[in-house]
Amino acid sequence: MKKFLVVCVLWLITVAAWGQSPMAGSDQAAIFREQKGTAYVEGSGILTYFLYDTYSKAGGDGDPVFYAIFDYVERLGWTIEFDSAEIYNPNHALADSVKAMMLAKDCDMSFTLITYPFDQRYGNIEFGDVIINNYDKSTGIWSTYIIFIVRQRVK
């Protein structure tokens, strides 16, 4: 029962931190029109996304958004395994709900964090993925970056 309580508390801390914006308190949040959205993705359920418009004021340059996302994930205590990055360009399998959410909010980048249930076989290590979707307005191509993340659980 004690372990269950600890897991619940850690999960709530992660959820509370996840609710904060990657660009919170910076001018970039306004520049990139940062906003939240949700979309249903088969196999994952309803996911919360942070959305960005890189075209209006940055000419389509999403690099500052990438850096803010990576900094945010590290502030949540995760280690980003850049060597494990998978890039799907074009991504023909991107959920229509994600595309619709992004287009409805006139945003060309989205970001979500997926964490996996803790498995004691791996010791005190938790796993997850950073998912970044991008829409290139000039070509009409959707691309997705999936980057593996890990962190040590706090006992």
Residue 9, both tokens: 């508390």
Whether cis (ω within 30° of 0) applies to the bond prior to 64 is no
The count of residues in the chain is: 155
| High-pLDDT (> 70) share of the chain, % | 85
- How far, in Å, CA of 77 to CA of 127, rounded? 12
Three-state DSSP class for 62? Answer: coil
Per domain, the residue ranges of the chain are 2-152
Give exposure, 8-31, as e/b (b: 16+ Cβ within 10 Å). Answer: eebeeebeeebeeebbeeeebbeb
User: pLDDT tens-digit profile of 32-61?
Assistant: 888 999 999 999 999 999 999 999 888 888
pLDDT at 93 over 60: yes
**3-state SS assignment for residue 27:** coil
Phi then psi for 120, rounded to 5 degrees?
A: -65, -15
* CATH class for the region spanning 2-152: alpha beta
Flag whether pLDDT at 146 surpasses 70: yes
Q: Given a cut of 90, is residue 82 above it in pLDDT?
A: yes
